[in-house]
Structure 1
Amino acid sequence: MDKFTCIVTDDEPLGREIIESFVKEIPFLTLVGSFGDPVEALLYLQSNAVDIMFSDIQMPKINGMELVNALVNPPVIIFITAHRDFALDSFDAGVTDYLVKPVRFDRFLKAVNRAKESVLAGKTPKIQEARPDRIFIKSEGRLVKILLHEILYIESQGDYLKIVVYEKTYTTQATLKSMEEILDKQLFFRIQRSFILNIEAVKTVTGNMIELTNGKSIAIAVNKKEEFFTLLGIK
């Protein structure tokens, strides 16, 4: 039997618990995340492939519509809300189904079967199959949009990342590995354990030192030099 991964996003704990209990009753569903904060769901989906998302619409910080629109390649979406007024907009946004609280299990199962068919038909590609041109990060309590081509470099600082974009610097809680999986490997290169740089930001290379267009100098690891020069087209 095919297994389908899913997440639940709802700021109301009881709402999440009900949907989680429904998911556990369906053998072909695997719950991989449950979020009371839609921003956390957004950050998770930027670096993890998920087949189906069950989401409330009215939530703090960003609502369900904004969450879906912020994703480059969203999973199959089933909205679950106490309000009927959003139904038309939901289907215009490509949502597979729209359930009104309180949700009956038989109606939930019907929506899940419809979502399963959408996944099997390939209507929603996996997130990793397409490289986004932007990401959203959580920095200083805000959700910040960053255009990837504007990033000069990313530096690991323990459990946090420093992302330098021209004159601005953002700090967010994430790993360099998770960021590396998102970025286009033709544009970004991990030159050492703690740094990923945008190769378009390289100004000069002197020995093992790279100077970026903003004046920042970074040493390249010896075992990375040959691969980096190949990426730059240097023989």
Structure 2
Amino acid sequence: MKLKCIAVDDEPLALELVCKYIQQTAFLDLVGKFSSAIDALAFLNKEEVQLIFMDIQMPDLSGMELARVLDGKKTSDKTRIIFATAYHQFAIEGYKVDALDYLLKPYSYEDFLNAATKAYNYFEKLENKIPNPAATPTESSPEYIFLKVEYQLVKVMLSEITHVEAYKDYVKVHLKSKPNPLLSLTSLKSMEELLPTSKFMRVHRSFIIGLDHIESVSKNVITIGTHHISVSDNYKEPFLEFMGKWMN
């Protein structure tokens, strides 16, 4: 599967860089590049695009304004946005318009690929065409992710994540080897899209658990270390299905 994508940035060098990254990524197909959000909107009104890499601060129509226009068209599940900007203060606003990810300039190809793989996983799940939705476009599933913690990207091994907890505009990522969780500026929904479903499951509006770290289950309460996490009614059916397979 290839994702049709466009790049939107009024800075020529930044636009050239993101286009270069897109073209060297096997599962992305660059179908347009624009220095104006207005020109990008005109293109989107005619063509179907799955992924937009977009700056926020642009003249005439900002990236955030374009995101709101697209959200009003009810295309947010079919067209997702990854913002790329030099201003970290836009991060919270970006997640409010359900941006898939947020790249802080200057970013490396590794940062870009991590965000692009997140998008690939999202659309793979949406289409539901591949038996294992956790598979990635690479030869094997990723063993780690990068999280934005304060003003840096922190590499986190997936095997270390015991559970993820929603906390206001952030998430707390609890790790097996550390006493204190990492606080990352993202949403639980974004984390759910990023983490492979073969290893992680959402069990509550505020919690995602690492399936390998479950120690016991009693009356719909999961114990992971010293934490006790309830399984809410909305997520009970898939969890019980998982437990049925686990017990066989």
TM, length-normalised to structure 2? 0.52
Of residues 146, 153, 165, the one that matches 2:163 is: 153
How far 1:211 sits from its partner (Å)?
A: 0.9
Q: How does 1:2-21 map to 2 (within 5 A)?
A: 4-7=4-7, 13=11, 15-16=13-14, 20-21=35-36
Which residue of structure 2 aligns with residue 56 of structure 1? Answer: none
Q: Is the 8 A contact 1:132 1:182 kept in 2?
A: no
Secondary structure of residue in 2 paired with 1:71: helix
Of residues 174, 182, 197, the one that matches 1:164 is: 174
1:97-143 Cα shifts (integer Å, max 9, x gaps): xxxxxxxxxxxxxxxxxxxxxxxxxxxx9454415432211112111
Aligned-residue sequence identity (percent) comes to 27
* Alpha-carbon distance between aligned partners in 2 of 1:192 and 1:22, rounded to the nearest angstrom: 37
* Alpha-carbon distance between aligned partners in 1 of 2:236 and 2:145, rounded to the nearest angstrom: 28
How far 1:161 sits from its partner (Å)?
A: 0.5
* Closer, same or farther: CA 221–21 of 1 in aligned 2, 3 Å: closer
Q: Is the 8 A contact 1:150 1:165 kept in 2?
A: yes
1:162-193 Cα shifts (integer Å, max 9, x gaps): 11111241111211111111222222111111
* Alpha-carbon distance between aligned partners in 2 of 1:228 and 1:17, rounded to the nearest angstrom: 44
Q: Does 2:114 match 1:71?
A: yes
Q: Does 2:162 match 1:141?
A: no
Which residue of structure 2 aligns with residue 88 of structure 1? Answer: none
What residue identity is the alignment partner of 1:161?
V
Which residue of structure 1 aligns with residue 30 of structure 2? Answer: none
Which residue of structure 1 aligns with residue 192 of structure 2? Answer: 180
Which residue of structure 2 aligns with residue 228 of structure 1? Answer: 239
1:56-102 Cα shifts (integer Å, max 9, x gaps): xxx64x4x45545x538669xxxxxxxxxxxxxxxxxxxxxxxxxxx
* Closer, same or farther: CA 163–22 of 1 in aligned 2, 3 Å: closer
Q: Does 2:85 match 1:36?
A: yes
Cα RMSD, aligned residues only: 4.2
Between the two proteins, the alignment pairs up a number of residues equal to: 167
* Closer, same or farther: CA 223–16 of 1 in aligned 2, 3 Å: closer
The gaps in structure 1 that reach 5 residues or longer are 50-58, 76-124
What residue identity is the alignment partner of 2:54?
G
* Closer, same or farther: CA 33–211 of 1 in aligned 2, 3 Å: same
TM, length-normalised to structure 1? 0.55
* Closer, same or farther: CA 190–4 of 1 in aligned 2, 3 Å: closer
* Alpha-carbon distance between aligned partners in 2 of 1:147 and 1:227, rounded to the nearest angstrom: 25
Q: Is the 8 A contact 2:9 2:15 kept in 1?
A: no
Q: Does 2:208 match 1:208?
A: no
If asked which structure has higher relative contact order (CA below 8 Å, sep 6+), I would say 1
* Alpha-carbon distance between aligned partners in 2 of 1:198 and 1:191, rounded to the nearest angstrom: 10
